[in-house]
Structure 1
């Protein structure tokens, strides 16, 4: 018997062998998908493997993360099996100035997969279990992107992305709230797919969809040497970005604050903010949407 009031059947485990069979293919991006029951941080673990020479396409997933980190060192916690916590090891052969697109690319992939996998059938009979593109008329959880690395539904945070450079590689971490109930949320500003009406008890199809979407975008983007225009990445990101057109407050490094209206996402993935002194391109900062 489980100690959880919701029971184990409500939060089934991920199966490493099944994920390996579904995702690891000759010539494909994903080389290894490992699932561990618990760890401190998948990013930290995969960074250590990167230093040891682990290949691109290594993925580490955990059922419980006890020391997960977001931007600015913020903690990220969730009950066992209530979300998707995983990291990907990538070695993109693109110009260094284009590496800033990696968290944005990941955001596009995660948001697209979430929207597709939580679509309603046309009969309104419930959320789809298959990995398919929603047909016209389907309604989806309206997952949107907050620059640079958060997924929101409305103004509540559904997922976070953390990209770290490790000796020429990138470790890309994703934390996505799937089955959390209101009482389990770490902060009131968070949400989950369950809270938004998409009770996906089996997280495996969603994880497969995210990794496949990431692989598709990553292969296209790197084949075009990181060009966000010809790959379509900049257009896709702007279509999903809820920060565009918003009045914002940006907390910049060095205790500076920028106030203004977001006018664009430029070719380097930077936020272009129109303020009192004209346009400012921001490559790093904590963005607050001003109501």
Structure 2
């Protein structure tokens, strides 16, 4: 009888022993408490997009619903960019929130809130210094260079918001989709256990969401505005903002204003807030040499 080589073996959920599947029962035990924000946790082997799945069910969906996928085949980022990675190499999940008592004009802070919660959780649970690129990227340092290891996408759905988070956890150098990508493993993480990381991120998100909601969505009063600014790698740098309509703007990123917008100081001395756009870091800030 011929022996199967590893390359001939059929793919299954245990094919990559360095990437075990998530244990949904353990996640539920750790997250679903009577006083918790999280109302349900489900894990699917594969789906197109967890954001799309939750958004399609948003009407009547309980706040705190969490959907995790071991693999996303049509994950989406901002500007309809795709997000793909090998099965079980990262965390790909979405949550449904209904902050109905917070003025809708303040809901724009939710993706920034998710960024603060995720970066803080990763620093604590993975031991990796994670910074924020406005408005929704998570950066780590790999071989002395900034690399994107995660992204956040928030979308209105029904009476609430679906927030999707994608994180490269164990992605190896030869698996990176683009040279500017990174992973927690490549950044020297002390832990790449996805259950530990997911619990930490969801607990951090619950904590920051509770503070923000208790302050009626006031980012300054809740401490969110200051926390985002402190962890934002975009501030104090010269950047180019690619704005809707094909316009671009170059200036120094000087502040995050009360509406979560990035404030650029342009060459003519004016300060212009940017509420949407693609940001390119051009030059490092003074502290980075």
With normalisation by structure 1, the TM-score equals: 0.89
1:132-281 matches, within 5 Å, as: 141-154=128-141, 155-198=146-189, 200-277=191-268, 278-281=270-273
The residue that corresponds to 1:25 in the other structure is 33
Aligned length: 268
Q: Secondary structure at the match of 2:184?
A: coil
Is this contact kept in 1: 2:117–2:201, CA < 8 A? Answer: yes
Task: Tell me the residue number matched to 1:289.
Answer: 281
Per-residue CA deviation, residues 139-161 of structure 1 (Å, 9 max, x unaligned), is xx221000000001142101000
Is this contact kept in 2: 1:2–1:8, CA < 8 A?
Answer: no
Distance 2:214 2:158 in 1: 22
Question: Once the 2 structures are TM-superposed, how far is the Cα of residue 3 of structure 1 from its aligned partner?
Answer: 5.2
Helix, strand or coil at the partner of 1:170: strand
Paired with 2:148 and 2:109, the residues of 1 have a C-alpha distance of 21
Q: Over residues 68-108 of structure 1, what are the superposed CA-to-partner deviations in whole Å (9 max), with x where a residue is unaligned?
A: 01010111000000000000000113112211110110000
Contact 2:58/2:159, CA 8 A, preserved across alignment: no
Alpha-carbon distance in structure 1 between the residues aligned to 2:204 and 2:261: 23
Secondary structure of the 2:28 match is helix
C-alpha distance 87-201 of structure 1, shift in aligned 2 (>3 A): same
Match status 1:90 vs 2:88: no
Shift in Å, 1:12? 0.9
Dislocated runs of 4+, deviation >6 Å: none
Could you list the runs of 5+ residues in structure 1 that have no partner in the other structure?
120-140
How far off its partner does 1:118 sit? 1.9
Q: Distance in 1 between matches of 2:254 and 2:192?
A: 39
Asked if the contact 1:12/1:202 (under 8 Å) is kept, the reply is no
Following the alignment from structure 1 to structure 2, what is the Cα–Cα distance between the partners of residues 199 and 212? 19
> Which residue is equivalent to 2:48?
40
Give secondary structure in 2 for the equivalent of 1:8: coil
Check the 8 A contact 2:39/2:64 in 1, yes or no.
yes
State how far apart, in whole Å, the 1-side matches of 2:192 and 2:183 are. Answer: 12
Residue of structure 1 in register with 2:107 after alignment: 99
Aligned equivalents of 1:245, 1:59: Cα separation in 2: 35
Structure 2's unaligned 5+ residue stretches are 1-8, 284-289
Larger Rg computed on CA atoms: 2
**1:8-56, Cα deviation, whole Å (9 max, x unpaired):** 32111111111111101113100001000000000000101113x1111
- Residue matched to 1:114: 122
Q: Within the alignment, does 1:56 sit opposite 2:63 as a pair?
A: yes
Structure 1 residues 6-15 or 209-218, which shifts more?
6-15
Distance apart, 1:201 and its partner CA: 4.2
1:200: how far off?
Answer: 3.3
Partner of 1:67: 74
